[in-house]
Amino acid sequence: MPISDPTDINCGIALEPTEDQRSSPANVATFGEVAAARMGRRAFLKGALGTTTYTALAVSPAALLAACGEEEAATPAAPTAPSAPTAAPGSLAQFTEISHGVSTDNVVSPGYSADILIRWGDPVLADAPAFVPGAADADAQEKQFGYNNDYVGFVPLNDDGTRGALCINHEFTSRDIMFPYDLRNTSPKELADTEMAAHGGSVVEIAQMADGGWRVVADSKLNRRITTRSTAMDVSGPAAGHPRMQTNADPTGTRVIGTLNNCAGGITPYGTYLMAEENFHFYFLGELDDAEREGATAGDLEAACAAGEASHPEARNYCRYGVAMGGGYDWGRHFDRFNINKEPNEANRFGWVVEVDPLDPTSTPVKRTALGRFKHEGAESITNKDGRLVIYMGDDQRFDYLYRFVTDGTVNTDDRTSNFGLLDSGVLSVAKFSDDGSLTWMPLIHGQGPLTADNGFDTQADVMIETRRAADLLGATPMDRPEDVEPNPVTGKVYVALTNNSRRGPSQMDAVHDRAPNYWGLIVEMTPPDGDHSADTFTWNILVKGGDPSVPVTGAQFSEATTSNGWFACPDNLAVDPAGRLWVTTDQGSGWPQISGTADGVWSVGTQGEDRATSAMFYRVPVGAEMCGPCFTPDGETLFVAVQHPGTDGALAFEGHARASDFEDPMTRWPDFQPDMPPRPSIVMIRKDDGGRIG
């Protein structure tokens, strides 16, 4: 089963339909109903939006106006050059804002340069062969930079910060735009093998050049590829060795080949690289319910799951995660471990946080099961004032949860490697938000409350393998797709990107989620009491609500000083610069033409004083890409960003293309713009032309 549409496997809107095992479509309002309720205008329902579902719906400002009877719906924004520079008033950001828009190239604030550091197919290992466009060559791919770069982390290698180990996740592959039709159509084993080699991560040593830019050190001993195909990983923590983790290939339940769908991540204070496994469910074929094998529809399977009648031994677990519930990759045709009927436990060995020592290329990555199993977006950490490490993690699916892990031990700043077992013992908690502005962290500990054998949790291993179900029983707050969660070491506050949730209905609104459906996302600010990130109770606020604040029906919320280019939608990855300012990247998926009309990008957002909630646009991706991996060097003078899946999302709406975008006919060939070269996901380094801190 070839993947028919590469956007099926991004993290934006397009993935959502496959992620909904819990929400009930029956009580979900259309956008038009919500808008009508907000506007108090029956007339609204008579417009084009009243009965449309989201996918056909235009919610761009122009379309909203049209629906309100003011003018005809406009087509999505045409490609535009940066407008006359306008600084964002009241913003601490001192850069010149760029305009919303969409174009085949990327765009950065005037006075800055955006240069390519490394592209898909470039050498990582010194003996990597040259990239051959359109070829399925797994052995070559194992030595070359992987596909769809997402997380970017920087580990300094010297005191003056001129050398570093850059750690980059390769989240997924986009078959239609990577490979020619014959390969896609026949889907031979070599194709699956190459895709598996394009997943995972890369570690590359980079060195600063005389002009301040960075280059990959081609022959560095640190350079390393980590892949789904070949990298052996250990399993540690409560679930290690448990029978539910055992397979034919690994009867010990402690040794897994590879990692899957590594989205965001983190760098610990002791310089290890955390790779978060997100949409692992998408890689498994097989039948969750034998009884439905003939002529089954997705609805039948969901019903069997809901009734607890699916027959697979891990059905309750896999139903909750969406494993083998349709869509996704066909690797299971060629590799038994990706078929849940041939290897019933293999899917339990993914969905974890993987820890890698980037300073030792021979080290074995470790899946740290104490951090729970879910669709981990990222794993950003901060050392608490008592020395314990605190890791914040989102589970990116509609109505899933926000988590925190607090280690038992403390960070030893004098002996780096003594910290390597720190993530194996500690307390994982899940968040419950209250309308009074507080939030409580509820520990997921076997034997406490409902987490007992009566509910199928015989040990802590079961609690970790089925983290989601444990959190359900505790009554955690269902959230609008928690993506990156970023502690700000300058202010002590923590920011949560909730990207969107098109299925939230009016009856499911709460103080955090006061828009239903939520097409534009929001950023929640959490405050630990007295800077204690291990406290049981925090307070919370909303920093911004995505969408166009000049269109009241959206319910968007930014500061008054935010310009018409400063607002954004669908926040995904976050970073904090050395000055403590928040930087936000977006992922609107295929919905960009309707959601905002602009390509995704990078925005700087003030969090304090007069600058609070003032947002300004700094960088824009080439068409069809999403923006990942914002990462500052410690001096704040370079910002690395990851351009993921250029040329894929929203091709029909892109003026001048307006047809499918694939290997043969992509809507952009960024960054090479060569006739035989497909678009290539790449790491971009952004620097100020005359030096100094970004922003």
Residues that bind Ca ion (CB under 5 A): 11, 263, 483-484, 486, 572, 574, 587
Closer by beta carbon to ligand FEO, 14 or else 35: 14
Number of other CB atoms surrounding residue 493 within 10 Å: 24
Closest CA to 64 of 571, 548, 521, 557: 548
End-to-end CA distance of the chain: give it in Å, rounded.
46
- Does 396 contact ligand FEO by CB under 6 A? yes
- Which helix H or strand E contains 523, and what residues bound it? strand 522-527
Run of H or E residues at 97: strand 96-97
Binding-site partner at residue 33 among Ca ion, ligand FEO, none, CB < 5 to 8 Å by type: none
Site map for ligand FEO, 6-45, x if CB under 6 A?
Answer: -----x----------------------------------
Contact of residue 278 among ligand FEO, Ca ion, none (CB under 5-8 Å per partner type): ligand FEO
Task: Compare residues 483 and 649 and give the one whose CB is closer to Ca ion.
Answer: 483
**Rounded to whole angstroms, how far apart are CA atoms 359 and 330?**
35
Shortest distance (Å) from residue 483 CB to ligand FEO: 5
Residue among 33, 71, 24, 75 at smallest CA distance from 54 = 33
Q: Which is nearer to ligand FEO, 472 or 572 (CB)?
A: 572
Residue number closest to ligand FEO, CB atom: 11
What is the smallest separation between the CB atom of 518 and ligand FEO, expressed in angstroms? 15
Backbone dihedral angles phi then psi of residue 447, each to the nearest 5 degrees: 95, -15
The minimum distance between CB 396 and ligand FEO, in angstroms, equals: 4
Q: What is the CA radius of gyration of the chain?
A: 23
Residue from 171, 205, 395, 548 binding ligand FEO (CB under 6 A): 171
Please report how close the Cβ of residue 11 comes to ligand FEO at its closest, in angstroms. Answer: 3
Question: For residue 160, what are the contacts with CB-CB under 8 A and spacing of at least 6?
Answer: none
Residue from 57, 93, 260, 263 that binds ligand FEO (CB under 6 A)? 263
Binding flag, residue 377, ligand FEO (CB under 6 A)? yes
637: alpha, beta or left? (left if phi > 0; alpha if psi -120 to 50) = alpha
- Rounded to a whole number of angstroms, the minimum distance from the CB of residue 483 to Ca ion is 5
Q: For the segment 560-589, give every residue that binds ligand FEO (CB under 6 A).
A: 572
When the beta carbons of 14 and 423 are compared against ligand FEO, the nearer one is 14
What count of other Cβ atoms lies within 10 Å of the Cβ of residue 483? 29
Q: Among 8, 278, 525, 548, which residue interacts with ligand FEO (rule: CB under 6 A)? A: 278
Q: Does 400 bind ligand FEO (CB under 6 A)?
A: no
List the structure tokens of 105: 């190239």
Instruction: Provide the token pair at 354.
Output: 């993987």
Q: Side chain identity at 59, as an amino acid letter? A: V
The helix (H) or strand (E) run that includes residue 468 is: helix 467-474
Partner that binds at residue 685, options Ca ion, ligand FEO, none, CB closer than 5 to 8 Å by kind: none
CB of 673: closest distance to Ca ion in angstroms?
25
Ramachandran region, residue 138 (left: φ > 0; alpha: ψ -120 to 50; beta: rest)? alpha
**Contacted by 484, from Ca ion, ligand FEO, none: CB < 5 to 8 Å by type:** Ca ion
Q: Is 362 exposed, middle or buried (0-12, 13-18, 19+ CB in 10 A)?
A: exposed
Size of site (CB under 6 A) for ligand FEO: 8
Binding mask 472-511 for ligand FEO (x = CB under 6 A): -----------x----------------------------
- Write the CA distances from 650 to 9, 12, 55, 587, integer angstroms: 14, 12, 12, 12
Q: What are phi and psi of 262, to 5 degrees?
A: -80, 105
Query: At closest approach, how far in Å is the CB of 248 from ligand FEO?
Result: 30
Min. distance of Cβ 15 from ligand FEO in angstroms?
8
Q: At closest approach, how far in Å is the CB of 149 from ligand FEO? A: 12
DSSP state of 178: H
- 């310009």: which residue's tokens? 563
Please state, in angstroms and rounded to a whole number, the distance separating the CA atoms of residues 149 and 621: 13
Q: Which of residues 297-336 bind ligand FEO (CB under 6 A)?
A: none
- Rounded to the nearest whole angstrom, what is the least distance from the CB of residue 57 to ligand FEO in the complex? 22
Which residue's CB is nearer to Ca ion, number 375 or number 432?
375
Whether the CB-CB separation of 519 and 54 falls below 8 Å is answered with yes
List of residues contacting ligand FEO (CB under 6 A): 11, 171, 263, 278, 377, 396, 483, 572
